[in-house]
Amino acid sequence: MVAGLKKVMKKGLGEMGFNKGGGSINWFPGHMASATRAIRDRLKLADLVIEVRDSRIPISSTNRDLQPMLTGKRRIIALNKKDLANPNIMHKWSHYFESCKQDFLAINAHSKNSVQQLLELAEFKLKEAIIKEPTLLIMVVGVPNVGKSSLINSIHQIAATRFPIQKKKKRATVGPLPGVTQDIAGYKIAHQPSIYVLDTPGVLVPSIPDIETGLKLALTGSVKDSVVGEERIAQYLLAVLNCRSTPLHWRHINTKGFEENTNDKHEYNVRDLLRNRRKPPNLSDVHYIEDVVTEVQRTLYVTLSEFNGDLDDENDLEVLIAQQFEALQKALKIPNKASEARTMVSKKFLTLFRAGKLGPFILDDVPDVSGS
């Protein structure tokens, strides 16, 4: 199955390379080179590093260039966004990290409980230093958009309940696109000893040798969509879902409820998923999001189950993906004539995936550590 996926990726991406000088695509923004240098400098001083990765891609969200420095430090790998990752497969990753003797924790940066557990592990790792040192530095590093600043805000919030921090509490800026944090900033979370956590800009390596790693980073939002193009990312997502037969698990989807609602004229925009997180959701919006998800899943189930080709064959897989783009256009009610229809389909489809509406996923395979 994977053979078709690999060929489709190569064909779809053509000559595109994930490297600094590759074509006209500037995917390694200028600030990243200087940020990487600044992070390296500060790492020398750090007493503990929390390396944040994305739970959906525990290996692909590694910054390989920083690894030699990180392995020489007290380090915790925080696999963030665990709410978006398949918990059954996460168990296998737990075994993997344990077998590597690497301290790690799967977390959700928005959950106080989860962050509390991470803080307990950090405190445990620092217990000797806490007795000796008057000041300690914890650095939070990772590729863009994995949730470093969200984690810092949660840590800071928990710290504020333990001791009065500053008069006016600083908050790290958080956002759905990569590249939000551009400067290193410190947040005091304890005194006696004084403990500071440093938020850092997300940094990637200047060259990603493997196309699939680049696509996974794009799919999970570490690389800007405009760099790879929404269509390519959506095509990759469809290829992954088909090759894993995921849509066949959606055969139970009840189409009846959807058909009953199709006459309703309510306008629904998938982008609304990302807005107004704090506002309680309007019940009718919730129903419409559910309807859209149902219809997308049903569409992918029908197209895959009726497909007679060979998913190992790149051409067959491409035909299926083309059919699915057309079917999704109808499912998402994008007008036939829209010149940007494929881009619109891709954007909406990606938004659903990224919000976890298509279910939890882990895209990386657990490395084989049996030594065979």
Ligand X SMILES: Nc1nc2c(ncn2[C@@H]2O[C@H](COP(=O)(O)OP(=O)(O)OP(=O)(O)O)[C@@H](O)[C@H]2O)c(=O)[nH]1
- Name the residues that contact ligand X, by CB under 6 A: 80-81, 83-84, 108-110, 142, 144-150, 174-176, 178-181, 201-202
**Rounded (5°) CA angle 127-114-195:** 35
In the complex, minimum distance from the CB of residue 172 to Mg ion, in angstroms, rounded to a whole number: 6
CB of 143 to Mg ion, least distance (A): 11
Residue span binding Mg ion (CB under 5 A) among the ranges 12-20, 55-63, 143-151, 292-300: 143-151
Q: Compute the C-alpha angle 37/39/45, nearest 5°.
A: 120
Residues within window 150-189 making contact with Mg ion, judged by CB under 5 A? 180-181
Q: Report whether 224 contacts 26 (CB < 8 A).
A: no
Residue 148 vs 342, nearer CB to Mg ion: 148
What is the Cα–Cα distance from 296 to 238, expressed in whole angstroms? 12
Q: Is 62 in the site for Mg ion (CB under 5 A)?
A: no
Nearer to ligand X, 217 or 328 (CB): 217
In whole angstroms, the minimum distance from the beta carbon of 191 to ligand X comes to: 25
- Strands 75-80 and 135-142, by their bridges, are unpaired
Nearest to ligand X of 60, 329 (CB atom): 60
* Of residues 149 and 297, the one with the C-beta less far from Mg ion: 149
Q: Which one of Mg ion, ligand X, none is in contact with 178 (Cβ closer than 5 to 8 A by kind)?
A: ligand X
Partner interacting with residue 80 (select from ligand X, Mg ion, none; CB below 5-8 Å by kind): ligand X
Nearer of residues 86 and 182 to Mg ion, judged by Cβ:
182
213 binds, among ligand X, Mg ion, none (CB under 5 to 8 A by kind): none
Binding-site residue total for Mg ion (CB under 5 A)? 4
Nearest distance in Å: CB 100, ligand X: 23
Give yes or no for residue 149 binding Mg ion (CB under 5 A): yes
**Measured from the CB of residue 141, what is the shortest distance to Mg ion in angstroms?**
11
Q: Which residue is nearest to ligand X (CB)?
A: 202
CA distance 17 to 178: 19
Ramachandran assignment for 245, one of left (phi > 0), alpha (psi -120 to 50 degrees), beta (any other): left
Q: Which entry of ligand X, Mg ion, none binds 58, CB below 5 to 8 A by partner kind? A: none
**Residue (147 or 247) nearer to ligand X, CB:** 147
Answer for the pair 125, 103: CB distance below 8 angstroms, yes or no: yes
Task: List the structure tokens of 51.
Answer: 């390396």
**Residue with Cβ nearer ligand X (56 or 232):** 56
267 close to 331: Cβ distance less than 8 angstroms: no
**Smallest separation, CB 107 to ligand X (Å):** 7
- Nearer of residues 220 and 303 to ligand X, judged by Cβ: 220
User: Is residue 50 within 8 Å of 122, Cβ to Cβ?
Assistant: yes
Binding partner of residue 108 among Mg ion, ligand X, none, CB cut-off 5 to 8 Å per kind: ligand X
Q: Minimum CB separation from ligand X for residue 108, in Å?
A: 4
144 binds, among ligand X, Mg ion, none (CB under 5 to 8 A by kind): ligand X
Residue (252 or 277) nearer to ligand X, CB = 277
Could you tell me which residues are beta bridge partners of residue 198? 139, 186
Minimum CB distance to ligand X, residue 34 (Å) = 15
Cis omega (within 30 of 0) for bond into 193? yes
Q: Which of 63, 71, 139 is nearest to 103 (CA)?
A: 71
Contact set with Mg ion (CB under 5 A): 148-149, 180-181
